[in-house]
Amino acid sequence: MAATVLLAGALLWGLIWWPLKALAGLGLQGSVIQVVAYGLPALALLPWAWRSHAAWRKRLLPLALIALLGGWANASFASALTYGSVVRVMLLFYLAPVWTILAARLVLAEPVTPLRLTALGLAMTGLAFTVGGPQLFAAPLGAVDLLALSSGVAFALNNVTIRAARDLPEGVRAVAVLAGCAALSAGFLAWSGQSVAAIGAGPALWLAALGLLWVLPGTLATYYGVARLEAGRAAILLLAELVIGVLSAVVIGAETLGPKEALGGALILAAAVLEARSEPPVPA
């Protein structure tokens, strides 16, 4: 059951680019989408999280870090998918295991085993092919590329923070991440001088549907599965998100998967599998 639910969540997250691009086609700015689509699920889960306030009221610092890092990971990932190539964004985001290896070593003093070093090398080689192969240094990375990379870095750092604060309930972590994304997006929206109130009734209904019928069940499915499966197995199952995202973008979104991107993706996928298999056991 846990594996099935986790794969269902991976299906939703792998296809999240589809409604994001559809809403952008209606003229909605990325920050507007994220404020509503992530803010509504946070509000829906808030009563559940509040019931366990005794467990987190003295852990506000790690909770704030989870909100900041998880919020940025979601906000930057959604923005990159909205405005960039889904294939390229998904591949760059899934370099997250590389940053997890480095962050876990620096912050938690986890060992860098030969298996993890191999994963690191594969992922960096995959990155080189994904962003241009031999022409890697011919031009700087674009803004969307940097968003996708920063999303993976923030996701990795958030994972390390969650490991360090594993006593926080899953529902509280979920609310923190969703609310962090909505809050950061609201800040960008205010900075740009726009307002959520400016959207029409039709797009607002589609935004609400995205938040409550897509983001919310995707979040609950992911947390349900991850909480009940071994960390390495869960990480491998979550790679279905990468496969679904890339293949759906090629089939539905008419994007292309060139030889360099295919090779880079295969190397990144192999690196993620190796990192998942080398994942140290997490104490209960």
Of the candidates 203, 235, 171, the one whose C-alpha atom is nearest the C-alpha of residue 27 is 203
Question: In this predicted model, what pLDDT tens digit does every residue of 196-213 receive, in sequence order?
Answer: 767 788 888 999 999 999
Cβ density class 45-81: b for 16+ within 10 Å, e for less: beeebeeeeeebeeeeebbebbbbbbbbbbbbbbbbb
Residue 120: partners with Cβ closer than 8 Å, 6 or more residues away? 98, 101, 112, 271
78-95 pLDDT, tens per residue?
A: 999 999 999 889 988 988
Q: State the Rg of the chain over Cα.
A: 18
pLDDT digit string, tens, across residues 31-41: 899 999 999 99
pLDDT for 206 equals 92
**Does the structure show a pLDDT above 80 at 270?**
yes
pLDDT at position 4, please?
92
Instruction: Give the pLDDT band of residue 184 (cuts 50, 70, 90).
Output: very high
pLDDT tens for 39-92 read 999 999 999 899 888 888 888 999 999 999 999 999 999 999 999 999 889 988
Minimum mean pLDDT range among 31-45, 95-109, 238-252: 95-109
Q: Is residue 132's pLDDT more than 70?
A: no
Give me the pLDDT at residue 284, please: 42
- Cα 271 from Cα 116, distance rounded (Å): 8
